Amino acid sequence: MRLCLKKILLTISGATVTFLLVAFVDQQRREEGGGLSGRAARFSVSPSGRGWTKGSLDGGGLAEPLRALYGYLAALVPFRRDAAARPRLPAPDLARKVELRDVFIAIKTTRKFHQSRLELLLSTWVSRAWEQTYIFTDDEDEELTIRTGHRVINTNCSSAHSRQALSCKMAAEYDVFIASRLKWFCHVDDDNYVNMRALLNLLSSFSPTQDIYIGKPSLDRPIEASEKLPNNKTRSVFFWFATGGAGFCINRGLALKMAPWASDGNFMNTAERIRLPDDCTIGYIIEAILGVNLIQSPLFHSHLENLQLVSKSQVQSQVTLSYGTFENKRNIIEMKGTFSDDQDPSRFKAVHCLLYPETPWCP
C-alpha cells in the first residue's frame, strides 16, 4: 500500500513539473514571437535560493529556464523544512543599547569655579563627551562659551549656595533637557569625574519602558520633609533621594511625568513646598509624588564618602568619582605613581589616563 502511494505521489509530482515547464517555455516563445528584442524582464532565483528576484534571461534556449525552474523547486522545499524545524529566536533588543548621543549631561557650577574646577573636567572626561555635555552656571564667560561650542547656559541664578539658587539651576537643567529630546538626563557637579563607558553600560542595562531614577543617597535612611498643605497645614513625607554630589540619571519617560512639578519654573515652587535643596526636590517629585523608587547604585561617588575605599582595580567600573575633604582629611582616589600630588591633586588625571591611556598628555 505504501509503495503504491509513493508511486502515485511521484507521478503527480512529475506531471506537475512537466506542466509548469511547458507553460514556462510556451510563454517565453510567445513573447519572442511578439517582436520583443534584446532581453526580456524575468523573475529568477535569488543567490540564496530562497526567493525570486527580478532579473533578465536571454530570449532563446531551454537550458536557462530549466535551471531557474528546477533551482527554485529544489530550494523551496528544504527552506520550508528548515524553517519549520528551526526554533525562532527573539530579535535582539537593539533599542536597549544606550549610546553617547542619547545622553544629556548637565554640569552644575558657579563662576568662581570656572578655572579651578571646570578646566580639569574639560581636559579629562568632558573631552570624551563634548557634544553631550552642557554647563549650567550663573554668569557670562565668553571664553568658556567659545571653547565648549556654546554649551554654556547662563541661568542668571544667584551664585549663592542656597537651596533657592541650587533649585534655580536645576530648573534650568530640567527645561533644557526636555527641549533636547534626548533619552537620558544625567546631572553631575563640577567636582565629579564621569566614566562614560561605565555610564553607558549601566544605562543600557535597563528596559526602555521602565521608569529609571538612579544614583546614590547620602543618607542611610529616607529623608523626612515637612510638606506644605493648604490652610497653613503641613504633613511629614519620607522619601529617598540621590545626592547631586555623586550625580544621578533619569530617563526621559520619567522626566516627562515630572513636568507638572518641574517644568517652566514649577520646580522652584515644588522646592519651596518642602523647603529643601534641588536634589532633595528631585527625590520628592519622583518618590513621594510619582511613587517611583530610587535605584540605589554603589557606582556613583561624592566627596561626602571615603573615596580611598575605591581601589584602583575598581575604577574602570565606577560611573562617577569625586574629590574633596572627608572628616577633615584630604579625600581622593588612591592612584599612586602616575602624577605627583601637585600635578594631580584630585587624581582625575590619573583616572583619565587609566581609562584612556592614548590621551596625548598621559605619561
Cα separation, 245 vs 215, whole angstroms = 10
The alpha helices in the chain, defined as continuous H runs, are 2-33, 63-85, 119-123, 142-147, 163-180, 196-204, 252-257, 259-262, 266-274, 278-283, 348-355
Catalytic residue among 175, 191, 279, 344: 279
Would you give the end-to-end CA distance of the chain in angstroms? 85
* Closest to 56 measured CA to CA, from 66, 68, 37, 42: 42
Cα separation, 111 vs 134, whole angstroms = 15
DSSP structure string for 20-50:
HHHHHHHHHHHHHHTT--SEEEEEEE-TTSS
Sequence-separated (6 or more) residues with CB below 8 Å from residue 90: none
Cα separation, 349 vs 304, whole angstroms = 21
138 is catalytic: no
The sign of the torsion formed by the CA atoms of 208, 209, 213, 216 equals negative
Helix (H/G/I), strand (E/B), else coil: 52 = strand
Helix (H/G/I), strand (E/B), else coil: 178 = helix
Q: Which residue, chain included where needed, has cell 554647563?
A: 135
Which residues are designated catalytic? 279
